[in-house]
Structure 1
Amino acid sequence: MNLKRETQEIVGYPYRYALFYNFPGGLRFELSEGGNPLDQVLTALRKATAVCEDVFANEKTILVHLLTFLPLSKFGLRRKLRELHVAGITIPEVRELWLDVEDQDDDEVFYWVNCAFEVPVSKVQNLIWCAVTTDFGTSLSPNPHCRVYLLNPSDGIVVHPYDDRGMDVISKHKSALAGLYERHKHLLLSHDIEIMRRTFADS
C-alpha cells in the first residue's frame, strides 16, 4: 500500500489549501457560530461530525493525512505527537512520511512535512477536534497545530476541516457529494451557496 500515492491521486493531483476554490464542484460547510472559544469548537465539532458520519458511513477505516510546516524542532515534533496522543490518535507503525517543497517569490524555499496513516472510523471526532482547535493557540487542548485531511478512498472524497470556521469536502465524482449537498444543505456556507447550487441543484 502506497499511502502517499493514495493521498495525491484521490482527487487527481495534490491538494493543500482552499480546496473548495482549487477543486471546482466541491462543498464548503460553515461550522462555528461565534461565542467563546470552547463554544465555537464544540459547535464546529458537532456540525463537522454530522457530515463526516455520512462521508464514512460505510467505511471501517479513515485514511488520515496530516500536514505541518517546517522548520520543526525535535521539541516541536514531540509536542505535536504528544498532543495527538492526548487526543486519542496514535500514529501506527504502518505510515508514510514525506516532504513537499514550496518555492516563494523571494527565492526562499519552504518545506511541508506530510504523514499518512489509517485509523478506525471511530476516531473521526478526535481528528475533527484536532483540526478545529488549530487557531486557538494553547487556550484549547489537545491541539497538535497541523492541518488534518480525512480521506475516503472508496468514494474518492477528501474532507478538510480547515479551522473552527469551516470545512471543505471535495471529490472527482460529483455523484459522491450530491447526497451530502441534499442532507446537509442547512450547513453550507451562505457566501458560496450559489456556486454549490449551480453544481448540485439539478443532480
Structure 2
Amino acid sequence: MSQNEIKLERPLFYNNPFGLRFEIGPAEIGVWVSRERRQLNEKYFNAALERAQNIFDTAFTLTDEISIVYQMFSDGRRRIKKKCYILRQINTGSTKEIAFSDHRELYSESLGYKCEFWHRATVSGLTVADINIKKILLALINTDFGSRQPVIAGECYFINHTKGLVLSLYDDRGMDVVALKKETLQALYKIHNKLLLNYDRAHIDQVFSHI
C-alpha cells in the first residue's frame, strides 16, 4: 500500500473509506484523582496505554513492513528536528533515511498565509522491532496534559504497508484505524469490539457487522 492512498489528515476516521474508532481513556476510571488539586489519576493513563498497546499489537505483527509519518503545523519557521522525541524512538540505522517534506494540501482550508504549511518527517522500511512503540503511544496519550512527560506536539501515523492500514492515536480519548478495504479491519472490529467509541458505534456496526 502506498502511504499516499490514505489521507493522513485528522479526523482520520472521517477522512477515509473504512475505519474504526476506539475509546482509549477509560471513562469508568476517570482522568482526575482531584481536579481541585490538579492531581491526575495514574490508573487512567496506565489503562489507556494498555488499551492502545493491545490494539496496536492486533493491527501490527513483528514482520509487517511499517512506515511512521510525523507531521506538525509550521508558520514557516518551525521544523521537525532529527533529534525530536518521536524520531529518537525509531532505530533508523544506516540503511534507513528520514524524508522531510512540506505540504499545503493538508488542512488547506485553515492555511491563511503562503508561509504556512505542514512539515512532515517519514521513516520507511521499518518493523515493530525498530520502534519503541510504548514510549510513542504514551507520549501521544499525554498530548493534552502539559504536566505529564513525555509529550508529542504534532500528529503521528503508523502505516502498515503489509496489511494496508493506518493507525493514529490522536490523544488519550481515542484511536483511529483506517484502511482501503473493509476486510482489512474485520479482525480488529471483532477482537476489540467492546472498545469501539460509542458515539460512532452505530455507523461502525452498520459497516462491519455484515461481511
TM-score, normalized by the shorter chain, greater than 0.5? yes
| In 1, Cα distance between equivalents of 2:50 and 2:109 | 37
Number of aligned positions between the proteins: 192
1:121 aligns with 2:124: no
Give yes or no for contact 1:84–1:90 (8 Å, CA) kept in 2. no
1:183 aligns with 2:158: no
| In 2, Cα distance between equivalents of 1:158 and 1:169 | 6
Choose which of 33, 38, 51 in structure 1 pairs with 2:55: 51
Structure 1 portions without partners, runs of 5+? none
Q: TM-score, normalised by structure 1?
A: 0.82
What is the CA RMSD across the aligned residues, in angstroms? 2.6
Give yes or no for contact 1:97–1:115 (8 Å, CA) kept in 2. yes
Structure with greater proportional helix content: 1
* Distance 1:84-1:37 versus aligned 2 partners, 3 A rule: farther
Per-residue Cα deviation, 1:150-195 (whole angstroms, up to 9, x for no partner) = 1101111000101110000000011110000000001100111110
Match in the other structure for 1:69: 73
1:95 aligns with 2:88: no
Deviation of 1:61 (Å): 4.7
Give yes or no for contact 2:80–2:120 (8 Å, CA) kept in 1. no
1:154 aligns with 2:162: yes
Give yes or no for contact 1:20–1:28 (8 Å, CA) kept in 2. yes
1:173 aligns with 2:178: no
| In 2, Cα distance between equivalents of 1:37 and 1:108 | 41
SS in 1 for 2:151: coil
Match in the other structure for 1:131: 140
| In 2, Cα distance between equivalents of 1:145 and 1:187 | 25
Residue type matched to 1:121 in 2?
Answer: V
| In 1, Cα distance between equivalents of 2:86 and 2:111 | 34
Give yes or no for contact 1:131–1:162 (8 Å, CA) kept in 2. yes
| In 1, Cα distance between equivalents of 2:186 and 2:192 | 10
Per-residue Cα deviation, 1:36-73 (whole angstroms, up to 9, x for no partner) = 26444322211111011011125355310101111375
Choose which of 8, 13, 18 in structure 2 pairs with 1:25: 18
Deviation of 1:22 (Å): 1.6
* Distance 1:7-1:100 versus aligned 2 partners, 3 A rule: same
SS in 1 for 2:70: strand
| In 1, Cα distance between equivalents of 2:86 and 2:110 | 33
Residue type matched to 2:85 in 1?
Answer: E
* Distance 1:180-1:161 versus aligned 2 partners, 3 A rule: same
Q: Percent identity?
A: 26
